[in-house]
Chain A
Amino acid sequence: MTHPRKWLIPTLYILFLMLPIYGLLAMSFKTTGEILGGFSFFPQQFTLANYKVIFTDPTWYNGYINSIIYVVINTVISVSVALPAAYAFSRYRFLGDKHLFFWLLTNRMAPPAVFALPFFQLYSAIGLFDTHIAVALAHCLFNIPLTVWILEGFMSGIPKELDETAYLDGYSFPRFFIRIFIPTIAAGIGVAMFFCFMYSWVELLLAKTLTSVDAKPIAATMTRTASSSGYELGLLAAAGSLTILPGAVVIYFVRNYIAKGFALGRV
């Protein structure tokens, strides 16, 4: 069925979704005075000063660096731990495998707030408080189960005859796993990494609880709405706009694989 105005509804929907993002972007180019002064759809006094502050003031740009560091550490840990685990779940039958697999998923059912206090105590006790690795490890609690779940779906889509053929062709298990299996499920790894990134990037509570200065994430920096110089709404808007960027870049790379993940019912 083709209708001359079939573009109308999606367009309205997208406009509706984009409106707050546009508002944020527009604000980031305004001065705080203008934002507080009243509503205007376009910046009256266009300024890049907000961005300039973020890129020059270490308390701001360090927030980004800290976030990126623990997100990357977390993604690497999650995927490298989940790869062998997912392989085991997809290829072997062992006592309680199905229960264990389900239990992994239930890890995601508790809100992060539940873990904030015990983590805080634990990391303080062993001297990991306010380090990147602390946040990365804390996020593993949620990301490893998710990654195992996603990767298991992709791996089960590969027939076990591929493994067997590689052995017949003279490959040992480790060589097969690294040289053939990992490239074959590259799409799945991409999707899993994307979700690790996404979760770790947006998670605020644990990241904020486990850091104070040295590893303070950008989202925590952004909760500081007022400083000695009063409200800095323009600055916050600029920081917010920049926070959206990495997600947009990452999703661009995995956009074709995400659909496959959905089809497998694992995303």
Chain B
Amino acid sequence: MAEIRFKNVQHAYPPPKGQKPVYALKEVNQIWEDGGAYALLGPSGCGKTTLLNTISGLLTPSEGEIYFDDQEVTHLPTSDRRIAQVFQFPVVYDTMTVFDNLAFPLRNRGMDETAVKQRVAQIAEMLDLTANLNKRASGLTADGKQKISLGRGLVRSDVNAILFDEPLTVIDPHLKWQLRSKLKELHQQTGVTMIYVTHDQVEALTFADKVVVMYDGAVVQVGTPVELFNRPKHKFVGYFIGSPGMNFLPCKLDRGQPVFHNNLLNTSYPVGNDLSGRTEVGVRPEFVEFTDDGIPVVIDKIEDLGRYQVVTVKHESEVIKMVVDEDQQIPTDNPKIQFNPDMTRIYCDDWLVGGGQNE
């Protein structure tokens, strides 16, 4: 086990003829603490898998260095890195039985056969594969095969980290939930570093202690689920996490406080007046309320989602979403809204500015 450190890691895939290289990873400086449960969250194509492959050595980054503790591993081949990785789609050795598949990584490291048997039995038990151990792996269903892939990732106990690349995509929803809690449980038991790539925020927020949000090849924020929710450092995090996403409204600044269409708003995190760039005010739908006094709005749409309602309102041409309790009356006569000042933040050119960034 080791702490994994990224120092200025960048990667560009070879560009099509006559074009400039496009960076799939941009200046990643990141420390993955030993024993952490991380989720790597971001939209498809943002560089999550590229990042993962640089850790396991399937890809050598075009710039920068990677360290496991104090050892530089940037150019070390995959087989020497002691990393386990599970891919999105099942990978099984078709010619072997389920048992041999699970035993394969252990035997390759010269573990003796009784220990192999014991360990495989343990993992098979955990993944409900015991009944299939002697079957050919090629005969299983897609989720059975994916369980083998998972098992092969989990079976070694000497690994530096286990990387999961959207491993539960092909698995049934109820089983998905079960397996995710098994992974979490295993993490608590063994304390091995786990990095879990996903574009599903629920999956990320339930699995991880720390969520790393990536956008367009860069790491935009690292934090606990609560931090990401309350204090998105980048507009993308605001959009991507939470449902519905954060409201962003264009604003001007008056003595550090945001002004939205001539309505002075209050924030607990004012900024200096000398910002150049596009300024916006951000507030989550959960922290917008109807009040007697505030910004006048027109109600556009009400969606009842059971335990709460999502209300879409408009001020001038700006759309604001708000989350309201299911039993709350929606005012019909001249509705007005207000933002919670503790949860209202200012963004400049997509990045969070103003006080309270490191509370």
- B-binding residues in A (CB < 8 A): 93, 159, 161-162, 164-165, 167-172, 180, 183-184, 186
User: Are A170 and B95 touching (Cβ within 8 A)?
Assistant: no
The answer to whether residues A165 and B152 also contact, given A159-B89, A170-B105, A170-B108 and a CB cut-off of 8 A, is yes
Chain B residue contacts of A180, Cβ below 8 A? 93, 95
A-B contact pairs, 13 of them (CB 8 A): A159-B87, A159-B89, A161-B87, A162-B91, A165-B87, A168-B58, A169-B105, A169-B108, A170-B79, A170-B105, A171-B108, A183-B95, A184-B94
The reply on B77 being an interface residue by CB < 8 A is: yes
Chain B residue contacts of A162, Cβ below 8 A? 91, 93
User: Are B95 and A168 touching (Cβ within 8 A)?
Assistant: no
Chain B residue contacts of A169, Cβ below 8 A? 79, 104-105, 108, 152
Q: State in angstroms the CA–CA spacing of A184 and B105 once bound together.
A: 18
Chain A residue contacts of B85, Cβ below 8 A? 164-165, 168
Residue of B nearest to A186 (CB): B95
Chain B residue contacts of A184, Cβ below 8 A? 93-95
CB distance from B84 to the nearest CB of A (A): 6
Q: State in angstroms the CA–CA spacing of A106 and B344 once bound together.
A: 67
User: Are A167 and B78 touching (Cβ within 8 A)?
Assistant: yes
- When the two chains form the complex, which single residue of B14, B87, B105 contacts A164, counting CB atoms closer than 8 Å? B87
Q: State in angstroms the CA–CA spacing of A90 and B79 once bound together.
A: 22
4 extra interchain contacts, Cβ-Cβ under 8 A, other than A167-B78, A168-B78, A183-B95? A161-B87, A164-B91, A165-B85, A167-B58
The reply on B56 being an interface residue by CB < 8 A is: yes
Q: State in angstroms the CA–CA spacing of A167 and B84 once bound together.
A: 10
User: Are A164 and B93 touching (Cβ within 8 A)?
Assistant: no
The reply on B83 being an interface residue by CB < 8 A is: yes
Chain A residue contacts of B105, Cβ below 8 A? 168-170
B: number of interface residues (CB 8 Å)? 22
Q: State in angstroms the CA–CA spacing of A168 and B95 once bound together.
A: 18
Secondary structure type dominating chain A contacts: helix
Chain B residue contacts of A161, Cβ below 8 A? 87, 89, 91
Q: Which of B211-266 contact A (CB under 8 A)?
A: none
Q: State in angstroms the CA–CA spacing of A196 and B333 once bound together.
A: 84
Q: State in angstroms the CA–CA spacing of A165 and B78 once bound together.
A: 10
Q: State in angstroms the CA–CA spacing of A168 and B152 once bound together.
A: 10
Chain A residue contacts of B83, Cβ below 8 A? 168
Chain A residue contacts of B89, Cβ below 8 A? 159, 161
The 8 nearest A-B residue pairs measured at CB? A170-B108, A167-B78, A169-B105, A183-B95, A161-B87, A161-B91, A165-B91, A170-B79
The reply on B109 being an interface residue by CB < 8 A is: yes
User: Are A172 and B152 touching (Cβ within 8 A)?
Assistant: no
> B43-65, CB under 8 A of A: which get 1 and which 0?
00000000000001110000000
User: Are B58 and A164 touching (Cβ within 8 A)?
Assistant: yes
Chain B residue contacts of A172, Cβ below 8 A? 77, 79
CB distance from A172 to the nearest CB of B (A): 6
CB distance from A114 to the nearest CB of B (A): 35
Chain B residue contacts of A183, Cβ below 8 A? 95
- When the two chains form the complex, which single residue of B56, B57, B79, B152 contacts A171, counting CB atoms closer than 8 Å? B79
Q: State in angstroms the CA–CA spacing of A134 and B87 once bound together.
A: 48
Q: State in angstroms the CA–CA spacing of A168 and B77 once bound together.
A: 9
CB distance from B104 to the nearest CB of A (A): 6
CB distance from B149 to the nearest CB of A (A): 8
> B319-338, CB under 8 A of A: which get 1 and which 0?
00000000000000000000
Residue of A nearest to B94 (CB): A184
Q: State in angstroms the CA–CA spacing of A183 and B77 once bound together.
A: 24
Chain A residue contacts of B152, Cβ below 8 A? 165, 169
Q: State in angstroms the CA–CA spacing of A162 and B326 once bound together.
A: 50
User: Are A164 and B78 touching (Cβ within 8 A)?
Assistant: yes
- When the two chains form the complex, which single residue of B14, B84, B93, B94 contacts A168, counting CB atoms closer than 8 Å? B84
